[in-house]
């Protein structure tokens, strides 16, 4: 058997590249989702999260810096798939009263992916003694959780009711 040369530090670095790529894709997807949103609340939520996402990308660049690496992304098929599904909803449900419900569902899938990644990365950073990285990742994790909570609230209030009433 080949000698094991990779360790948790490598895994941390690889996963950091994954989420860096994912955030950049999300940054590109959010304006399109905002443009398609029918309710003002949902559009504002997407616009606000776009601004937050810019900050999250900068934070990731600081994490790379803290481990002495230059920021680089690695193709993340998971986020491509999730974003593709959101495009599908926008096409298939264009002019439908259920469009916002579909957009909300797609956006929550994105948030859940991010929460999963940031949770893992923060845990690994702590285990590796990367204190600065852990605190930066924790900051973003909390931001993603707040976004998810906001989307959940929108889902249980106006947006889905609108779809139902149609």
Residues lying near Fe ion in the complex (CB under 5 A):
53, 56, 114, 144
Cβ contacts of 151 within 8 Å, gap of 6 or more: 45, 104, 107, 108, 111
Q: How far is CA 43 from CA 21, 58, 71, 146, in A?
A: 24, 23, 30, 16
Rg (CA), the chain: 17
**8 Å CB contact between 22 and 79:** yes
- Smallest gap from residue 23 Cβ to Fe ion (A): 5
CB-based burial label for 1 (10 Å; 0-12, 13-18, 19+): exposed
- Smallest gap from residue 56 Cβ to Fe ion (A): 4
- Smallest gap from residue 72 Cβ to Fe ion (A): 17
- Smallest gap from residue 69 Cβ to Fe ion (A): 20
Which structure tokens are listed for 157?
A: 């209030």
């Amino acid at each position: 058997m080949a000698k094991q040369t990779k360790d948790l530090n490598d895994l941390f670095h690889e996963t950091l590249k994954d989420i860096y790529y994912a955030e950049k894709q999300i940054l590109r997807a959010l304006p399109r989702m905002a443009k398609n949103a029918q309710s003002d609340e949902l559009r504002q939520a997407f616009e606000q999260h776009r601004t937050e996402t810019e900050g999250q990308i900068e934070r990731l660049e600081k994490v790379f810096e803290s481990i002495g690496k230059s920021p680089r992304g690695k193709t993340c098929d998971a986020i491509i798939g999730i974003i593709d599904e959101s495009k599908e909803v926008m096409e298939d449900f264009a002019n439908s009263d259920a469009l916002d419900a579909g957009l909300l569902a797609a956006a929550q899938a994105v948030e859940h992916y991010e929460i999963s990644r940031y949770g893992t990365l923060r845990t690994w950073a702590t285990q590796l003694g990367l204190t600065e990285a852990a605190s930066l990742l924790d900051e973003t994790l909390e931001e993603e959780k707040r976004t998810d909570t906001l989307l959940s609230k929108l889902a249980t209030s106006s947006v889905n009711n609108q779809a139902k009433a149609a």
